[in-house]
């Protein structure tokens, strides 16, 4: 996928080799954020300003201005563009106190996604 296709929309990049991540991405697509949701294996990461290390570590949201949000902040920003209820959820994830909890929860899930339903050994983070 070329950058020109994404010049008018934000891009949320996830791990397409992970069944758990793919299921989450499909759920997010049904919620309907204003973003293209694509597996990192299907895009030229350099055109998005991302590295393989970044996308292996966490979901990434690339804004139109090139700003990159990662992990729970990427999810919160994507939800924030998906309608009133989801905007409140996204904003809630970034509230002081809640944001640090959301970051820890995201990291716990990301670090253990290979153990979750749909996860495979390919989902394990390479440290």
**60 three-state secondary structure:** strand
In a domain, 82, yes or no: yes
Q: In what order do the strands lie in the sheet with 68-70?
A: 35-39, 10-14, 60-62, 68-70
At residue 64, the pLDDT reads 94
CA distance 106 to 72: 6
Q: What pLDDT is attached to residue 49?
A: 96
- How much is the pLDDT for 3? 46
Asked, for residue 35, whether it belongs to a domain, the answer is yes
Q: Given this model, what pLDDT does residue 41 score?
A: 94
Q: For residues 81 and 74, is the Cβ–Cβ distance under 8 A?
A: no
Inter-residue contact 37 to 14 (CB < 8 Å): yes
**Does 41 map to a domain?**
yes
Q: Mark the ranges of the chain whose per-residue pLDDT is less than 70.
A: 1-7, 118-127
- In the chain, the number of structural domains is 1
- Tell whether 125 is covered by a domain: no
pLDDT of residue 126: 52
Domain contains 121: no
Cβ-based neighbours of 75, under 8 Å, separated by 6 or more = 28, 59, 90, 93, 106
On whether residue 22 sits in a domain, the answer given is yes
Residue 42 in any domain: the answer is: yes
72 and 105 Cβ atoms separated by less than 8 Å? yes
CATH number at 76 reads 3.40.30
Range of the domain at 80: 3-116
Assigned domain for 127 exists? no
């Amino acid at each position: 996928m070329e950058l020109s296709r994404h010049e008018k929309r934000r891009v949320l990049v996830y791990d397409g080799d992970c069944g758990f991540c793919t299921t989450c991405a499909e759920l997010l697509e049904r919620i309907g954020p204003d973003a293209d949701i694509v597996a990192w294996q299907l895009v030229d990461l350099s055109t998005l300003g991302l590295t393989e290390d970044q996308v292996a570590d966490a979901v990434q949201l690339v804004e139109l201005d090139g700003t990159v949000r990662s992990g729970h902040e990427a999810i919160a920003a994507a939800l924030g563009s998906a309608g009133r209820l989801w905007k409140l959820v996204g904003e809630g994830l970034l509230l002081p106190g809640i944001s640090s909890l959301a970051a820890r929860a995201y990291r716990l899930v990301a670090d253990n996604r290979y153990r979750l339903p749909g996860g495979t050994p390919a989902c394990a983070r390479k440290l």
